[in-house]
Chain A
Amino acid sequence: MARRLDIQSETRDAVAVVAPSGDVDLEVSQQLRKELLDCIERTGDVIVDMAGVGYIDSSGIAALIEAFQTARKRSRRFALAQVPERAYRVLKIARLDRVFPLQDSVDTGFGSAA
């Protein structure tokens, strides 16, 4: 039986706040991808609360990239919030730390961009 990723999604101030929890790896990254794309479809703007992500690999990063690009194409806002050190390191090695908008907190105003 395949592992499921625990994902808590809610709408706050018309922004979808998506909080995956646990290891985001090849087994579950498609589930995160689908949830993020669904949230962009349903709600529009998306913040991914990364605080609960203990581990992320390239398949998880790919899910974030695809969601980010989809949001951008539709002129929707997309940010990663509370990225833990280990996940941040993966972004940095992949040179994606300056590609994704990063936030210290789950700020539905998207920082000053609101």
Chain B
Amino acid sequence: MSPAGSTPAPSVAADAAGEDTLVALQVPARAGSLKLVRAVLGPAAAELGFDQGAADDLVLAVDEACQNVVRHAFAGVEPGTLTVRIARAGDMATVRLIDDAPTVDPATIRPRPLEDLRPGGLGTRLMGELLDEIVYETPPAGAGNVLKLSKRIG
């Protein structure tokens, strides 16, 4: 991850193949950043062509994914930075969460069954319901985890 005060590393800000980045936001990876992420993401989703309901859904799904980063990826280590990059890829919106936490094994992240009424696990379940695709990408040098969330526009 780039030193404090400099621009984000190219790997974070650059378009992925076939994608046009609309906005990238880098915040400290803590709970207090989520409100700001939502405030940026809502209008960005509208800009990409989502109606209000679908934009709200995308905001919730991304918020849940950011929570996982804040609560789990940085568990036991100093909170670092989280970059949220929103792009259009054809008829899909893609939101990448890029952190500098220790790399997480995606196999350890599972939703709980619906009938299991306990706090926790719910966020992962909501993400599954609200998104079309959730993919862990190979993190570039300097990044810990890259999670790509996709939702069809329209």
* B119:A26 contact, CB within 8 angstroms: no
Given contacts A23-B35, A26-B71, contact A62 B119 (CB under 8 A): yes
Inter-subunit contact B34/A94 (CB<8 Å): no
Q: Which of B45-77 contact A (CB under 8 A)?
A: 53, 56-57, 60, 63-64, 67, 70-71
B17 at the interface (CB under 8 A from A): no
**Contact residues in B for A25 (Cβ distance below 8 Å):** 31, 34-35, 38, 63
| 8 A Cβ contacts from B107-127 to A | 114, 117-120, 122-123, 125-126
Q: A65-B117, A93-B126, A94-B125 given as contacts; is B67 within 8 A of A58 (CB)?
A: yes
Given known pairs A55-B38, A57-B67, A90-B60, the reply for A62 and B120 (CB within 8 Å) is: yes
Instruction: Answer whether residue B130 sits at the interface, using C-beta atoms and an 8 A cutoff.
Output: yes
Say if the beta carbon of B129 comes within 8 Å of chain A: yes
Let me know if A61 is at the binding interface, CB within 8 A: yes
Question: Does the CB pair A95–B114 fall under 8 Å?
Answer: yes
Whether a CB of chain B sits under 8 angstroms from the CB of A104 is no
C-alpha gap A66/B119 in the complex (Å): 7
Interface centre among A2, A25, A99 (most CB of B within 10 A): A25
Instruction: Return the chain A residue nearest B125 by Cβ.
Output: A94
Q: Tell whether, in the assembled complex, residue A57 and residue B64 are in contact, meaning their CB atoms are under 8 Å apart.
A: yes
Q: How long is the Cα–Cα vector from A56 to B130 in the complex, in angstroms?
A: 15
Which residues on B sit within 8 Å (CB–CB) of A62?
A: 119-120, 122
Q: Is A82 an interface residue (CB 8 A)?
A: no
Q: Is B106 part of the contact surface with A, judged by Cβ < 8 Å?
A: no
A93 contact set on B, CB distance < 8 A: 126, 129-130
Within the assembled complex, what's the spacing in Å between the Cα atoms of A95 and B114? Answer: 7
Is A27 positioned at the interface, with any CB of B under 8 Å from its CB? Answer: yes
B34 touching A26 by the CB < 8 A rule?
yes
B32 at interface, CB cutoff 8 A: yes
23 A-B pairs with CB atoms under 8 Å apart are A2-B31, A23-B35, A25-B31, A25-B38, A25-B63, A26-B31, A26-B34, A26-B70, A27-B34, A55-B38, A57-B60, A57-B63, A58-B64, A58-B67, A58-B126, A62-B119, A63-B119, A65-B117, A65-B119, A89-B57, A90-B126, A93-B130, A96-B117
On B, residues with C-beta under 8 Å from A are: 31-32, 34-35, 38, 53, 56-57, 60, 63-64, 67, 70-71, 114, 117-120, 122-123, 125-126, 129-130
Which 5 pairs from chain A and chain B are nearest by CB? A62-B119, A58-B123, A58-B122, A27-B31, A26-B31
